[in-house]
Amino acid sequence: MTFFITQVVPFATPINSTFFALLFLTVLAAILAYLLLTNKWLMKLRSRGLLGMLSGFVSIVCAGAVIFSFVHSRNIQPLEFGKNALTIGKKNIAYKNISGHYVKPLIQQSRYSAQISVDTALVYVIELKDGKSILLSNDNYNMLDVKTAMNNYIPK
């Protein structure tokens, strides 16, 4: 007997054009800092040292953003619904260990007035029997696809 695996792939990851622009800016600022601080370029400019330190700082900040975006993108994995378990990346979760699943809106209130809501994000909550929860954001996954697949494999 054959069994089909349902897979929900994230549609958005932090590896996008902004990531590559920051990577390019990191390399460019590092080269500029090296040229300015080693007297190989613009030797007559009085503020050469200040510009070199500024471009070095920009390079360090952009490198940090690139590293943290890459680390964050490794956590966003496709969901695979198999015959007996849900697989998220390398983590297998048996269907019998899931106690509940639902969509929950997260409302962000304004800092100045509690009556004003600034933004609302949707998360899909998968509650496990051991008390842990797995949250899937609507920034990365299509909530309708996740809800449909979860209802097909794990009825409420």
How much is the pTM?
Answer: 0.69
Closest CA relative to residue 135, chosen from 107, 94, 101, 108: 101
90: number of Cβ within 10 Å: 6
Q: Is residue 1 over pLDDT 90?
A: no
Q: Is residue 5 over pLDDT 90?
A: no
Instruction: Give the whole-angstrom CA distance, residue 152 versus residue 129.
Output: 20
Closest CA relative to residue 101, chosen from 124, 129, 81, 120: 124
Selected residue with higher pLDDT from 10 and 66 = 66
Read off the pLDDT of residues 63-106 as tens digits, 9 standing for 90 and up: 999 999 999 888 888 899 988 889 988 889 999 999 999 999 88
